[in-house]
Amino acid sequence: MNKNIAVLASGRGSNLEAIIKNIEIGKCIANLVLVVSDNPDARALKIARDHNIKALYLDPGPKKTWLLPEYEENYVRVLKEHNVNLVCLAGFMRIIKQPLLNAFPNRILNIHPSLLPAFPGLDVQRKALAYGVKYSGCTVHFVDDTVDGGPIIAQAVVPILDNDTPETLAERILKEEHRIYTEAINLILSGQYQIVGRRVIRVES
Ligand code: GRF
């Protein structure tokens, strides 16, 4: 099966960096063909170029939180031109809508720094601390037309410590993100799974 992936990222790119490292050491079976950003200054673009991976800034258009259809179509065109089979959002700060979802049905993944369905959206470490939960973590899920709501592929649990701040919690969660994103990508590219209702279940091929 085609193992071409693209990563879409808006900023720091630490998840991208972890995926690249895992590919380089043979832990991730993906072939990373393209990195795309909606932010010309994203560190993610520099990380990709430093590793000789094609990196493009694509104009996101006038809206702040999503792409108008004609702009999203451009993302679809570029991803298809690169024969991308799986799209991985890694800190891509846009809600994904129809042109992309239709072009890549159940082929777009996202990583989120909470144990979904708890704390979707933004600023989630602060929300987890304010709520008083004892455990948080991270989730890799399929992207659908809801915000952080698609079927869950992988999760990791991180205990919350009494002296945690949003920053210290985010840092510990991020370590787990870097581990489980590769695991989730490997599972989806291996094809050894089924989606049953909302459950993503491992199957032997
Ligand atoms: C991560 O915490 C990820 O879960 C969230 O955005 C952050 C991106 O971080 N969606 P990075 O750009 O991968 O360092």
Please list, in sequence order, all residues whose beta carbon lies within 8 angstroms of the beta carbon of residue 33, skipping any fewer than 6 positions away: 4, 5, 6, 53, 54, 82, 83, 84
Q: What residue owns the CA closest to ligand 1's atom 2?
A: 113
Q: What residue owns the CA closest to ligand 1's atom 10?
A: 91
Atom of ligand 1 nearest to the CA of 92: 10
What are the residue numbers of the active site? 112
Q: How far is the CA of 204 from the centre of ligand 1 (A)?
A: 31
Binding residues: 13-15, 64, 93-96, 110
Kindly give the parts of the chain with pLDDT less than 70.
none
The reported pLDDT for the residue numbered 1 is 74
Domain boundaries, the chain: 1-105, 110-205
The answer to whether the CB of 144 falls within 8 A of the CB of 101 is yes
In whole angstroms, what is the distance from residue 18 CA to residue 128 CA? Answer: 25
Tokens at 97, concatenated = 């809508």
The reported pLDDT for the residue numbered 204 is 86
b/e code 176-191 from CB counts within 10 Å (16+ = b): bbbebbbbbbbbbbee
* Helices 14-24, 43-50: inter-axial angle, 10-degree rounding: 20
For the chain, what is the radius of gyration of the CA atoms?
A: 16
Q: How far is the CA of 119 from the centre of ligand 1 (A)?
A: 15
CATH number (3.40.50.300, 2.40.160.20, 1.10.287.610, 3.40.50.170) of 110-205 reads: 3.40.50.170
The reported pLDDT for the residue numbered 60 is 97
Phi, psi of 110 (to 5 degrees): -135, 150
Q: Which CATH architecture has domain 1-105?
A: 3-Layer(aba) Sandwich (3.40)
Please list, in sequence order, all residues whose beta carbon lies within 8 angstroms of the beta carbon of residue 175, skipping any fewer than 6 positions away: none
Binding residues for (6R)-10-formyltetrahydrofolate: 64, 93-96, 110
Q: How far is the CA of 15 from the centre of ligand 1 (A)?
A: 6
- Asked whether the domain spanning 110-205 has the same topology as the one spanning 1-105, the reply is yes
Q: Give per-residue pLDDT as tens, 158-203.
A: 999 999 999 999 999 999 999 999 999 999 999 999 999 999 999 9
The reported pLDDT for the residue numbered 105 is 97
The reported pLDDT for the residue numbered 129 is 98
- Segment holding 13, helix H or strand E: none
Q: Give per-residue pLDDT as tens, 26-40.
A: 999 999 999 999 999
The reported pLDDT for the residue numbered 205 is 72
The reported pLDDT for the residue numbered 175 is 98
**Residue appearing with tokens 């008083």:** 132
Atom of ligand 1 nearest to the CA of 113: 4
Q: What is the DSSP letter of 34?
A: E
Ligand 1 is surrounded, with C-beta below 6 A, by 9, 11-15, 90-91, 111-113, 174, 177
On the CB side of 34, CA atoms within 13 Å amount to: 22
The reported pLDDT for the residue numbered 39 is 98
